[in-house]
């Protein structure tokens, strides 16, 4: 399932790098693309990956997730 994650608080390439790394570290998550311009991440998530898992991985890096949209 493809997901678009809206993220607040990213301000430079170090921020997007931290988010990218955190998402890539999640089991079942692939094709991670983080956009500083759009303040969002797009990724492919396996069915067992919950929005909470994605959200807390980003929270742990010090950023806020303001929404996750799933596109089946």
* Least distance CB 68 / Cu ion (angstroms): 21
CA-wise closest residue to 18 among 34, 2, 30: 34
* Least distance CB 36 / Cu ion (angstroms): 9
Looking at the Cβ atoms of 40 and 45, the one nearer to Cu ion is: 40
CA angle in degrees (0–180, nearest 5) for 5-32-14: 85
Are 39 and 7 spatial neighbours (Cβ–Cβ below 8 Å)? yes
Radius of gyration of the chain (CA): 11
In the region spanning residues 4 to 23, those forming contacts with Cu ion, defined by CB under 5 A, are: 11-12, 14-15
* Least distance CB 51 / Cu ion (angstroms): 24
Contact set with Cu ion (CB under 5 A): 11-12, 14-15
């Amino acid at each position: 399932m493809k997901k678009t994650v809206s993220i607040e608080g990213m301000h430079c390439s170090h921020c997007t790098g931290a988010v990218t790394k955190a998402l890539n570290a999640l089991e079942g998550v692939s094709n991670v693309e983080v956009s500083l311009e759009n303040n969002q991440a797009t990724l492919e998530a396996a069915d067992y990956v919950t929005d909470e898992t994605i959200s807390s991985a980003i929270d742990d890096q010090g950023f806020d997730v303001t929404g996750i949209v799933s596109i089946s």
